[in-house]
Amino acid sequence: MIKMRLKRMGRTKRPFYRLVVVKVDAPRDGQTLAQMGTYDPLYAKVAIDEAAAVMWLKRGAQMTDTVESLLKSQGILARMKGLEGNVDAQALTRQKPARTRKLKGQPAPAEEQASA
């Protein structure tokens, strides 16, 4: 069986994921059949090749829950079913916990600026 899932890249505490198609028994960072896009959770950026994703879904590839939510937020699953699919900009921008590390070069959140 073939599965669409995330492959973790990046360094320690700086995750970056590739959306890939793999055989079910392959390890998380093992050999892939195809790469369809990327997901950066720190900056809430998603880039998915819609044609490749639809092609693999039509071939019977199963999705993990996370991949399914990413495809829904980008409207790909709705467009595949013939509906009007919109990109949900708020899907990936939910509030992160306050204790997350500050990223270099990023402005401080509004809460911290107000209390300083």
Separation between Cα atoms, residue 112 and residue 106, nearest integer Å = 13
Residue 75: predicted pLDDT: 87
Amino acid at 34: A
Domain boundaries, the chain: 2-86
pLDDT, tens digit (0-9, with 9 covering 90-100), for 32-78: 999 999 999 888 889 999 999 999 999 999 999 999 989 988 888 88
- The whole-number average pLDDT for the span 98-114 is 59
Strands, DSSP E only, in the chain?
2-11, 14-23, 34-40, 45-48, 62-63
Per cent of the chain over pLDDT 90 is: 47
Phi/psi class of residue 75: alpha, beta or left (left: φ > 0; alpha: ψ in -120 to 50)? left
For 58, the token pair is 């039509």
CA-based Rg of the chain, rounded to a whole angstrom? 17
Q: What is the pTM of this model?
A: 0.71
Residue in 2, 1, 4 with CA at minimum distance from that of residue 69:
4
Q: Which CATH homologous superfamily contains domain 2-86?
A: Ribosomal protein S16 (3.30.1320.10)
